[in-house]
Amino acid sequence: MKADKKKEKLTLAKNYFLANHFYDALELFKELDSADTKNSEIKLFLGITLLRSENYQEAIRILNEAIKIEPDLKLANHALGSALFMIEDYHGALPAFNREIDINPKYPDAYCDKGYALNELGNYDEAFKSASEAVKLDPIYADPYNVIAVSLNQLDQYDEALKNALRAIEIDGSKANYFCTQGNIFLNKGNLSGALNSFKTALELDPRYKEAAFNKSTAHLRLLDFEAGWKLYENRFATYPKNSRNKIITKNFFDKNIDSLGRIFIFKEQGIGDQILCASVFNEIDKEEKVIYIEVNEKLLPVFNRSFKNLNFVTSKNYPNSNSYDTTFGIASLPSFFRKNINSFNNDRHSFLLSDKDKTSIYRERLLSEAPLNKICGLSWQSKNQTIGKYKTLDLENLKEILETPGITFVNLQYNPPIEELDLFQSTYKVSIKNFNEVDLFNDVDSLCSLIDACDFIVTISNLNAHVAGALGKKTFLLAPFSRGRNWYWHDNLTKSLWYPSIEIFSQNETGDWSVPINQIKEKIVEEISHE
């Protein structure tokens, strides 16, 4: 290709790119690249055009070629990092952004996008620092303020997070993700109406924004607006880990009567506790004439098979053949068919799981062997959830007032309990918490069911034990966090669970302070015993 013709085509391709005519730009850049395979500038433009065209894998290949030809080529590493970010390879994106910063230290976009990657990796302090460098380089660049807002929100600095989110919106009010960040901060602050308004604006700016749609759904559900919540709840899959999003879901199943869906395969999702929550509607589909396969965690198979006679429970090891069913959807969609408003929770069932009664009797007899007139209280106080566990978890010391109540035999339901903390607490306060060491509280859910059923009542945080106790209809005093870490199904402003009628909910008045709900539970327990 002659030099003048090449220059003319390159100028035209750049003009197409700047006008967002990526298809036309792409064709010209490909032609130029074929004619001059060693030209790093052409490869850079081709790679960036592929990135803007959402052809990320091809963009990564071309940009790597450009960097190989000219390692210090400005913008190439930033574009490469951006492409890797878009395929969710955040670990791969970081070195690319760092190389761009080394080559181009005055380029704020590299610091900003490094901050986005660090946030995705959970390194919020470093994300804050990187975005702050971008702000220093360009104080009226909106994106770094959003990165800072996300970081501070995750670091529980909600007021400062909100200031930065508002600053990003002030600079550029056209970005849906800024309003989603604002909504997430409002959620953590317990301002659900503010969250709903923020997510509404985000979806007006970008109707395909699935994270905003899902977060909006959980706010609706927390506020008992089931009709609005369920419609958006299907967007949850976009927030799952990448390898959990490849399920084939029947289109347009939502809003149909479940009896019209033929043979059904319901695949598992979320944790064991959430699967038990969804099982609260199993009795409404447990019919001899229905063909329904339900994938569940294999730990649940014994108790589910005992409790429901006509449902076909499977695991990933024995999926039904695709010819065996007509419709498939996730288990978390199942309640949407039956729980459309508060009144739909009114039924005569206060429990839906059955423990192994023989095992339950053995456990109860052993627990009462030393003090047969005592009440038995099952106890758990920790959550191992890596994302929100710390907001739900208590120190054993917090429960001192409850544990000093006379006339109660306490039994540990906490799997992998902190033995040193237990021993120190028991020796310091002269109280006893019994351990059933032969029961694997993590893997043997069936035995856990029997142990919980052997108790008279349960004191627990929001974890698996709460779901098991509620499903068994066991009187339960639930300690719920104020806002962050509060699962939507405990709802706001409720003192009794809709999903598990035997559970009373005792909520924090503010994040981190458990004193009010613990004192309320202590009063309830004393009242419970005195009435016997």
State pLDDT tens for residues 275-291. 999 999 999 999 998 99
Q: What is the pLDDT of residues 431-453, one digit of tens each?
A: 889 988 889 999 999 999 999 99
Confidence at 164, pLDDT banded by 50, 70, 90: very high
In a 3-state reduction of DSSP, which class is residue 478? strand
Confidence at 530, pLDDT banded by 50, 70, 90: confident
- How many Cβ atoms sit within 10 Å of the Cβ of residue 445? 21
Section 293-303 average pLDDT = 97
Q: Which two tokens stand for residue 402?
A: 């409850």
Q: What is the residue-wise DSSP string for 435-456?
A: --TTS-TTT-HHHHHHHHHTSS
Q: Which two tokens stand for residue 261?
A: 């869906």
* Residue 388 backbone dihedrals phi, psi, to 5 degrees: -120, 5
Domain locations in the chain?
3-175, 258-345, 357-530
3-175: CATH, from 1.20.1090.10, 1.25.40.10, 1.10.1660.10, 3.40.190.10: 1.25.40.10
Give the integer Cα–Cα distance in Å for 182 and 167: 11
Q: Which two tokens stand for residue 37?
A: 């395979």
CATH superfamily label, 357-530: Glycogen Phosphorylase B; (3.40.50.2000)
- How many Cβ atoms sit within 10 Å of the Cβ of residue 314? 19
**Helix count and strand count (H, E) for the chain:** 23, 10
> Residue 426 carries which DSSP code?
H
Q: What is the pLDDT of residue 256?
A: 76
Section 259-267 average pLDDT = 92
Give the integer Cα–Cα distance in Å for 460 and 32: 66
* pTM value surpassing 0.95: no
> Residue 496 carries which DSSP code?
B
Q: What is the pLDDT of residues 472-518, one digit of tens each?
A: 999 999 999 999 999 999 999 899 999 999 999 999 998 889 999 99
Q: What is the pLDDT of residues 388-424, one digit of tens each?
A: 889 999 999 999 999 999 999 999 999 887 788 888 8
Give the integer Cα–Cα distance in Å for 137 and 326: 57
Section 366-381 average pLDDT = 94
Q: What is the pLDDT of residues 35-61, one digit of tens each?
A: 889 999 989 999 999 999 999 999 999
Q: What is the pLDDT of residue 531?
A: 65
pLDDT at 246 over 70: no
Give the integer Cα–Cα distance in Å for 221 and 241: 22
- How many Cβ atoms sit within 10 Å of the Cβ of residue 92? 16
- How many Cβ atoms sit within 10 Å of the Cβ of residue 348? 4
* Residue 474 backbone dihedrals phi, psi, to 5 degrees: -85, 135
Q: Residue 374 contacts by C-beta under 8 Å, 6 or more apart in sequence?
A: 368, 407, 408, 409
Q: What is the pLDDT of residues 375-397, one digit of tens each?
A: 999 999 998 887 888 999 999 99
Q: Which two tokens stand for residue 71?
A: 């390692």
Give the integer Cα–Cα distance in Å for 260 and 290: 11
User: Which residue reads 């999926």 in tokens?
Assistant: 319
Q: What is the pLDDT of residue 7?
A: 77
Q: Residue 403 contacts by C-beta under 8 Å, 6 or more apart in sequence?
A: 379, 396, 410, 425, 429, 431, 433
Q: What is the pLDDT of residue 120?
A: 96
C-beta of residue 480 within 8 angstroms of C-beta of residue 462: yes
Give the integer Cα–Cα distance in Å for 209 and 411: 46
Section 128-147 average pLDDT = 98
Beta strands in 342-456 (DSSP E): 375-380, 408-412, 433-434
In a 3-state reduction of DSSP, which class is residue 13? helix
C-beta of residue 25 within 8 angstroms of C-beta of residue 49: yes
